[in-house]
């Protein structure tokens, strides 16, 4: 399946993408994770992206489109993929169409703005294997230690309260129009984000028609 996941920052796109990738046996491409790796590696592209991300703004479309052209042409994407974080503007969605990529479904995970701040401020990330946790909703077995690789968990730079609000504003202005864009193409399915990860997964599987 060639699947796009859209939703506000913190809606649970990355969490559900990891579960779906296991079930569907396709790779997940998280543009946020790709960008954070470029920053950690100190590449020229990472240096450009860093300021945008720290402020909670979008990296310009032309950079993202070039990045994804390269990524989607690789062998592991030929039998399907999950896109978590791309496209994020109508311009990026049009560029994806121009690449000739035929998307099967677009999953929108809906979560109210009020829940987002709580989710993002409690998020912890593994800097080594990129597993994501939440201090209350999805805690690691040992506080601040990754269950999978035992690395010390960290807080993302863009999960500060003032940045979270800007990310939400940017989402409503620049990314939400994608929902109509894909609804008109007949590709959109919607899952209501629930208070627990497992409940959300049930909604997601139902929306996608996965048994
Ligand atoms: P990115 O990393 O994609 O950030 P985002 O879209 O803001 O989404 P998040 O990763 O914050 O949240 P998520 O929806 O994946 O939620 P998660 O599963 O972690 O992008 C970062 C930045 O990169 C952007 O701001 C932008 O600058 C740049 N960028 C990336 N792509 C770009 C593009 N295409 N164009 C331009 N710029 C781009 O869950 C969040 C928390 O909630 C976790 O702690 C989790 O454990 C918890 N949780 C999840 N589900 C539930 C649940 N059901 N109940 C309770 N808690 C839950």
Average pLDDT over residues 135-154: 95
Lowest mean pLDDT among 80-94, 117-131, 196-210: 117-131
Band of pLDDT at residue 44, cut at 50, 70 and 90? very high
Q: Residue 184 half-sphere exposure, CB side, CA atoms within 13 Å?
A: 6
Active-site hit among 36, 88, 119, 124: 88
Band of pLDDT at residue 161, cut at 50, 70 and 90? confident
| Residue 116, pLDDT score | 93
Does residue 157 surpass a pLDDT of 90? no
Percent with pLDDT over 90 in the chain: 91
Mean of the per-residue pLDDT values for the chain? 95
Protein residue closest via CA to atom 17 of ligand 1: 12
123 is catalytic: yes
Band of pLDDT at residue 130, cut at 50, 70 and 90? confident
Structure pTM? Answer: 0.93
Q: Cα of 3 to ligand 1 centre, how many Å?
A: 16
Residues with Cβ within 8 Å of residue 39, at least 6 apart in sequence: 46, 47, 49, 50, 53
Q: What gap in Å lies between CA 173 and CA 169, rounded to an integer?
A: 6
167 is catalytic: yes
| Residue 143, pLDDT score | 94
| Residue 160, pLDDT score | 86
Percent with pLDDT over 70 in the chain: 100
Does residue 13 line the site of ligand 1, with CB under 6 A? yes
């Amino acid at each position: 399946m060639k699947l796009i996941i859209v939703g506000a920052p913190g809606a649970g796109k990355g969490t559900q993408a990891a579960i779906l990738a296991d079930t569907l046996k396709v790779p997940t491409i998280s543009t946020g994770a790709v960008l954070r790796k470029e920053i950690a590696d100190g590449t020229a592209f990472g240096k450009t992206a860093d300021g945008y991300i720290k402020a909670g703004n979008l990296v310009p479309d032309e950079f993202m489109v070039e990045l994804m052209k390269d990524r989607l042409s690789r062998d592991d994407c030929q039998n399907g993929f999950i896109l978590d974080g791309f496209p994020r503007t109508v311009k990026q969605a049009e560029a994806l169409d121009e690449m000739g990529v035929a998307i099967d479904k677009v999953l929108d995970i809906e979560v109210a703005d009020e829940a987002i701040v709580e989710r993002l401020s409690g998020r912890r990330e593994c800097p080594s294997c990129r597993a994501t946790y939440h201090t209350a909703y999805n805690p690691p077995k040992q506080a601040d230690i990754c269950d999978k690789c035992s690395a010390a968990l960290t807080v993302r730079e863009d999960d500060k309260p003032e940045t979270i609000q800007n990310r939400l504003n940017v989402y409503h202005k620049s990314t939400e129009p994608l929902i109509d864009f894909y609804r008109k193409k007949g590709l959109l399915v919607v899952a209501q984000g629930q208070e627990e990860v497992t409940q959300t997964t049930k909604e997601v599987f139902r929306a996608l028609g996965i048994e």
